[in-house]
Every structure is written in structure tokens, then in C-alpha cells.
Amino acid sequence: MFNSGVWKPAIRATGIPDDRHNGMHVLHYTYASVLLDAGESIKALSAYLGHADPGFTLRTYTHLLPASEDRTRRAIDMALGEDQAGNDAPQALDGRDTA
């Protein structure tokens, strides 16, 4: 088993205390936080972590979700055709250039 055969001996060898704060829980938490920061969906993360219910994953890790204000603003800007420099590039809702 990875935890008892690899992780715990490696932790002990470094002199770091072998407790919950340095165990597999931290590795699990770090994995979840990196994937959420990268934009992975709660449903997919739930499956990767072995959770039966994505709602549990959401309740457990919701505080790790990146702030949505900037993501939302960028999504709307892209949908409306505004480029990164803030210049308007009018488009129809289907993405066709209206100019």
C-alpha cells in the first residue's frame, strides 16, 4: 500500500512529524486544490477522489474554488467579442463577425 509502504517511511526519513497534517490527507487535499485551480469540474474531481456524491466534494472543497468574478467577466467578454485589450469586436451570439 502506498501510504504505509512509501509515504509514511518517506515522511519519517525526513524527520517531519508523521501525523494528519503531513500524511495522505495533505496529498489528497493538494491534489483537489490543484485540479480546482486548473478549472476541473466538481463532478470530475468527485470521481477522481472516489467520492460517491459530487455534492460532498463541493461541500468539502468549495472554499478552494478560485474567485469567480474574473472568470465570469472574461467569459462574458469573450462571448460578446471583446478582446484582451478591451477593444470591442462585435460578434453575433453565434460567433459571426457583425462588422
What pLDDT, on a 0 to 100 scale, did the predictor assign at position 29? 87
Q: Which helix (H) or strand (E) holds 9?
A: helix 8-14
Of 41, 79, 34, 32, the closest CA to residue 60 belongs to 32
Record the cell numbers describing residue 80, joined without a space. 460578446
Amino acid at 25: H
Q: Which residues contact 66 (CB under 8 A, 6 or more apart)?
A: 36, 37, 39
What pLDDT, on a 0 to 100 scale, did the predictor assign at position 96? 54
What pLDDT, on a 0 to 100 scale, did the predictor assign at position 12? 87
What pLDDT, on a 0 to 100 scale, did the predictor assign at position 57? 92
Domain parsing of the chain, residue ranges: 2-66, 67-99
10-residue averages of pLDDT along the chain (99 residues)? 85 86 83 88 94 93 77 85 59 53
Q: How far is CA 28 from CA 34, 59, 66, 70, 79, in A?
A: 10, 15, 18, 27, 35
What pLDDT, on a 0 to 100 scale, did the predictor assign at position 70? 75
What pLDDT, on a 0 to 100 scale, did the predictor assign at position 43? 95
Cross-strand partners of 97: 91
What pLDDT, on a 0 to 100 scale, did the predictor assign at position 45? 94
